[in-house]
Chain A
Amino acid sequence: MSNQSTPLRRFWAEFRENKIAVLALVVVVLMILLALFASVISPQNPYDLANLSLMDSRRPPGFVGSGGYTHILGTDPQGRDLLSAIFYGLQISIQIGLAAGLVSLSIGTALGITAAYVGGRIEALIMRLVDLQLSFPAILLALVIVALLGQGKAQLIGALVAAQYAYFARTAYGAAKAERGKDYIEAALATPLSGRLVVMRHLLPNCTPPLIVVATVQIANSISLEATLSFLGLGLPVTEPSLGMLISNGFPYMMSGRYWISVYPGVALIILIVAINIVGDQVRDQFNPRLRK
């Protein structure tokens, strides 16, 4: 083992050993790129109404449309090219998932660390709230919030954040509390160093590994939850169709054999979520001291 290996490099070396995890990581990166460049690589802009023709709707994969190009994955009820719709849908799904995940991460971590650092009544209050929330199913909470606040990207992200920040709060709290009790923190606090410095340089870095694990899981969850909500018709508005909504659009056609309208967006969704979870699994195993031989 080289002495110059930084923790990051060692982490990566061990990560590389699990071929499946590496594959999953590649897939995730690929999908992010697809989503980023959706407008560039899509054969047809599915939301430009000028392009659409109802004559082309509900056609199976391989159909050559009136625009002249082959719809590799078929078309949806409005005549949109499914492949393009999937790219755009990916963009929205990933956007929402990342946004919800990162905001939950910030809010949850801030709450958790504050509770652990300040202690006393505030700690008890925050953690009671978090516990209460953790025991309530995320989907119900998100449903109700979306229902009450109306549909829209910001509202949806808000609902997802409300449903998920508790996981981050609990994880950050646990890690920070464990560290807080250690003697060197007490020693640091006794010095003229500002409390904020202690938090940033000592408590925070210690929480990072478990938070990363939770973050990957929760981003996948956000994507899944958003898709579910959209499927139920309670997610994003029709103007911003995520993968969930595409699937929902195709549901009525499944019985008559036009399966592709739902299945292909679904496959894209599954691949994305499973890949993120596999990466998250590997990261979690690597951070878990008890399983290390």
Chain B
Amino acid sequence: MSDPVLSVENLSTHFFTRAGVVKAVDGVSFDLAKGEIMGLVGESGSGKTVTGFSLLGLVDAPGRIVEGSIKLNGTELTTLSQEGLRSRRGREISMIFQDPIATLNPMLTIGQQMKLAIDAHERVSRRAGEARAIELLTQVGIPSASARLRAYPHEFSGGMRQRVAIAIALLHRPAVIVADEPTTALDVSIQAQILFQMRDLAAETGTAMIWISHDLAVVSSLASKLAVMYAGRIVEQGPTATLLRDPRHPYTAGLIASLPATATPGTPLTQIRGTTPSLLSLPPGCPFAPRCDRATDRCNETPQITFHERRGWRCFHPVGQNSGVSA
């Protein structure tokens, strides 16, 4: 069993705003093996995007990483200098964003933007750079790549633009790609294409991926491992199939139950009652308690993670079989 390519332990990222401290990410831990695809699932405000930014050291003020360790290929990232982080971004770990229209600079050609990304880490001749760009564009499925180098972003459709972003992210064959809701802004038909393309790319290149999404259905078709986030913490994680079939945390169960695919036709869709809490005024103890049907007085304490057979969950009253295994 080789070392994990990315190892995150007890990561906490807090935002120090005028209204108070927002604990966007609060004690998150997970490992990522080479070539593994992990899904990071949660509603908006759960902290999944901030987790992604934290991994790349791109957290904007007034936020910063206050605690924890991020080990990429064995190097500790949280103690690196700005230059150290910069030299690893794009080369060992990359990120792609949700809205491909906002990601690419409309005033530079695709070729120019790819060249900038290449030059950030290597000195290559113009010809070699072009060749590499063409190679990658073809790999992500963009036809007539060499002609497209001179095109501007607005000449591409949304799906194509996202592919270009993926190509840029892959330029230096990073060990990890963080994909923040990459298909949410695209048409449903394109979504599936990009999804499977990325899965194949990951397999081809051996790149590990963290797929951030609010859509459990999308992620579960792709990821071999899931981590469910709520109010800044991971409440459950484990192999995808096991999680879906037999969830432990009530929130995970709720998410699965509310998927239209699991619903019985003709009956109202299941919902998780209540709304996500404001991160400024979290209740003491388990943050999900106010919305949970299984909550008791015990839940006023903060549950720690229970580990069992490559799975983990934070709950005093977990769901499902083997409920005898409680905290």
Contact = CB atoms under 8 A, between A and B. Distances in A.
Q: Do A and B bind each other?
A: yes
A1 B17 CA distance: 14
Nearest to A1: B19
B281 to A, nearest CB: 10
A262 to B, nearest CB: 45
A191 B62 CA distance: 47
Interface of B: 17-19, 62
A3 to B, nearest CB: 12
Nearest to A17: B18
Interface of A: 1, 293
Nearest to A14: B18
Contacts of A293: 17-18, 62
A1 B18 CA distance: 11
A160 B163 CA distance: 55
A209 to B, nearest CB: 20
Contacts of B17: 293
4 shortest interchain CB distances as A-B pairs: A293-B17, A293-B62, A1-B19, A293-B18
Contacts of B62: 293
Nearest to B61: A293
A261 to B, nearest CB: 48
Contacts of A1: 19
B153 to A, nearest CB: 22
Nearest to B20: A1
Contacts of B19: 1
B194 to A, nearest CB: 30
B15 to A, nearest CB: 9
A237 B17 CA distance: 55
A233 B17 CA distance: 53
4 contacts: A1-B19, A293-B17, A293-B18, A293-B62
A97 B17 CA distance: 39
Contacts of B18: 293
Nearest to B63: A293
B13 to A, nearest CB: 15
Nearest to B19: A1
A7 to B, nearest CB: 16
B132 to A, nearest CB: 37
A1 B20 CA distance: 11
A286 to B, nearest CB: 13
B62 to A, nearest CB: 7
B259 to A, nearest CB: 29
A14 to B, nearest CB: 9
A134 to B, nearest CB: 27
Nearest to B17: A293
A1 B19 CA distance: 8
A37 B20 CA distance: 46
B50 to A, nearest CB: 14
A210 to B, nearest CB: 24
A144 B191 CA distance: 62
A158 to B, nearest CB: 45
A123 B62 CA distance: 44
Nearest to B280: A1
A19 to B, nearest CB: 16
A293 B22 CA distance: 12
B179 to A, nearest CB: 26
Of residues B17, B18, B62, which shows the largest number of chain A Cβ atoms within 10 Å of its Cβ?
B18
Nearest to B62: A293
B35 to A, nearest CB: 38
